Amino acid sequence: MKESECLFCRLKSDKTIILKQNSLFYSIYDINPTNLGHCLIIAKRHVISFFDLSGEEINNLYELIKELKKTMDQQFSPQGYNIGVNEGKVAGRTVDHLIIHFIPRYNGDVINPAGGMRNILKYKG
């Protein structure tokens, strides 16, 4: 897919939906949130894999994650977070542009949160 055809490459210039940004990443609220404050951190460069990020991009990503945490802590006071990447189609990636899910967690939002992201594969038993 070309950059000009990529939704997430185009969204970076839509200031009305950007929650926070820095030079290499921007964040928006997920349109189909799994929890209050669920947002997406998106690379400004058209890159698909987390493993193709440069050292500078990793640093930028981490800075934005810390800023988002500050914002979420102030706005929604979550008690925890899940931060994750669907790396590869078998892991659930549905768009060919790197997205990092940033999901605030709250006491009681699931009956038993033990295991966190491990629960993704729980059905395997």
**Among residues 72 and 98, whose Cβ is nearest to Zn ion?**
98
Helix, strand, coil fractions of the chain, as percent rounded to 5: 35, 20, 45
Give the nearest distance from C-beta 66 to Zn ion in angstroms.
24
Q: What single-letter amino acid sits at 100? A: I
Residue of the chain from 38, 46, 93, 101 that contacts Zn ion (CB under 5 A): 46
Q: Does 45 bind Zn ion (CB under 5 A)?
A: no
- Using CB under 5 A as the binding rule, the residues of this chain from 63 to 102 that contact Zn ion are 97
Task: Give the number of other Cβ atoms within 10 Å of residue 87's Cβ.
Answer: 14
Piece of the chain touching Zn ion by CB under 5 A; list 2-10, 19-27, 62-70, 76-84: 2-10
Q: Does 11 bind Zn ion (CB under 5 A)?
A: no
Q: Does 48 bind Zn ion (CB under 5 A)?
A: no
Give the nearest distance from C-beta 45 to Zn ion in angstroms.
8
Residue of the chain from 9, 53, 72, 99 that contacts Zn ion (CB under 5 A): 9
Gap between the Cα atoms of 88 and 48, Å rounded: 9
Query: 18 Cβ partners below 8 Å, 6+ apart?
Result: 12, 26, 27, 28
Residue with the closest Cβ to Zn ion?
6
| Sheet with 20-21: strands ordered across | 20-21, 25-29, 39-43, 99-105, 80-84
Residues found near Zn ion in the complex (CB under 5 A) = 6, 8-9, 46, 97
